[in-house]
Structure formats: structure tokens, C-alpha cells
Amino acid sequence: MILTVTLNPSVDRALEVGVLIRGEVLRAADSHIDPGGKGVNVSRALLANGVRSTAVVPTGGAEGDQLVDMLRAEGVDMLAVPIAGRTRSNITLAEPDGTVTKINEAGPVLSDAEFAQVSEAVLDAAATADWVVICGSLPPGPGLAAFTDLCEKLVAAGTRLAVDSSGPALLAGVAAGAALVKPNREELAEAIGAPLTTVGDVVEACGRLRAGGAGAVLASLGSDGAVLVDDAGVLAGSSPVSVPRSTVGAGDAMLAGFLAGGASGPAALTEGLAWGAAAVSLPGSRMPTPSDLDRTTVTVTLDPDLSRRLHP
């Protein structure tokens, strides 16, 4: 079982528009409303492909009730921890060429007591989990020390911990000794304080995170695919998408596929890339099912061209 932790979940509404024109009244060609939050998406993707998962989510207000109802309707196993604040709502505007504009609320403030309740639920459930995956932004309220303490307790208990976050939270996961971290290109560049313009830059940056304590680094690079750096060496892969519809949740689907595929080696990277590409081909934050996956478009190489430049 894979336990996911989304500290700042959301209700996500996606609207498809022809062209996003600032200041104009636009009519949506289509709309979708889905459960949101990176860890929630990982659980949804795993469930859609027959992999057991439980999602830990703090929820509050009418939006929190709506989130719980949607997850139940999808059959997601969850541990909902009640909080006083209101679960946030996010809006995605998707254009036909794949351009996505997101408007994310900050989310509710979690008190120290509420964060302690969430941590207790995670630590209890982790005892029967193969992986614990902490994803997304930290909610307002609890300090970084509380998040770091949770990561350290999980690692000390022998839990295989994966962290998909940004900024100080990502670095806290690295320092705690997470078995896997999954930054995107921007998050990885922020973590090392330098731009990434080539595959070699990405590999070097991943190596720095490993030197800081992370066991493996899976860097998602958008249209440039992904790079995996672990004890076995360096892998790079790509999976082109002919008709992109929405990138929302694509990195989450990639992480889910990577874990479902064994979390190491070419087979896992292939699975992750196939799941991520399938998510890009779907509207809103829909997660792919087995019928959406096309592994024949995935290319993985053991000897990537480190000089290859990344798309701007």
C-alpha cells in the first residue's frame, strides 16, 4: 500500500477556453471539477491503475466536504483529518495548445494542534505502508520545523519516504534522508540556486541533492521528459504528447507510475513517463487509466547526452 499525504488539498475546477484574453468575458468550451492536491492525485492515479493507496487529507468547510464526497465517489481510500479552516479551491484555465493558467488559493491555516493530528494519522498509517509520499505545498500555519520533524520520524521508523514539494520543504525532505525526491525543473533549480539549461546541469543538480541526503532524485522536465539519478547511475527518458490538453497533475501521475513500476530502473522510469504523458492528454486533472497508457512512445536511455539543451 502507498500512503499519500497532501497537507494542502483542494477542490480543482478546470475550464477549457479558446484563447485566454485578459479583461474579456470568455465562454468555457468545457469544464471539469476534480479532487485536487498533488498527493491526492497520486492516490487517484494509483487507484485508477489497480494499485492500493490511502490518502491522508486535512479537510474543512463546505469545500472540504465536497472534496471528501468526490474522493469517496472515485473509491479513494482516505484518512480525512478535520480542521477548522476551509479547504481551498483552485482554478485552471486551459487553452487548446496546452497552455495552462492556474490560480491557486493559499489554503487554510493549520494550527500546531491540527498539524500534530495530521502527523499522528500519518505515522500510525505508515506502519503498514510500502511508501509514504508527502506531496505539495505546506499550508499556512505550521512551521518548517514541524514538517521536518514528521519527515525525520518517518525515516527513523524505516519508512520509505518520497517527497514531492518545493523550496524549504523539498530541502527538508532531502536532509531527512528521504528515499526519493521528485522536483520539477523549476524546483530543482531553486533548490541548488542555479539555472538548468542542459541535461548535464540537471544530472549535476540531482547529484547535489543526493549528496545532501536524498537516496534518489526523479526530476520531471516537462516536454524534455525526466531524469533519474540513483545508486545505479543516470537514466533519462521522454514520452512525446501529440495533442496536449492539460499539464495539471502530470507530474503527480508520473510519480505514481514510477512507484507502481518498482521505483527504480528503466522499467519504473518508463512507467512513470507513460503515466505522465497520458495525464497531459486528458482534460483538467483527470488521472489516466490502463486504457490511456501508451508505453510504445517512451524512450529511456542509460547513457544520456549531457550536453543536450533543454527547451526554454
**Which grid cell sits at 138?**
505546506
12 labelled catalytic: no
For the chain, the structural domain boundaries read 2-19+28-301
**Residue position matching grid coordinates 528521504:** 178
Q: Which residues pair with 10 in a beta bridge?
A: 36, 88
Question: Residue 32's pLDDT is what?
Answer: 86
Question: Residue 243's pLDDT is what?
Answer: 87
Q: How far apart (Å, rounded) are the C-alpha atoms in residues 303 and 306?
A: 9
Q: How far apart (Å, rounded) are the C-alpha atoms in residues 74 and 68?
A: 10
Question: Residue 284's pLDDT is what?
Answer: 78
Q: Point out the catalytic residue in the list 34, 201, 230, 252.
A: 252
Question: Residue 217's pLDDT is what?
Answer: 98
Which CATH fold topology does 2-19+28-301 show?
UDP-N-acetylmuramoyl-L-alanine:D-glutamate ligase (3.40.1190)
Of the candidates 161, 160, 223, 222, which has an alpha carbon nearest to the alpha carbon of residue 188?
222
Mean pLDDT by 10 residues, the chain (312 residues): 97 93 92 93 97 98 97 96 96 88 93 97 98 94 93 98 97 98 98 98 98 98 96 97 88 98 98 97 90 97 96 90
Query: What per-residue string of b and e applies to 106-139 under the rule 16 or more CB within 10 Å gives b?
Result: ebbebeeebbebbbebbeebbeebebbbbbbbbb
| 236 within 8 A of 301, measured Cβ to Cβ | yes
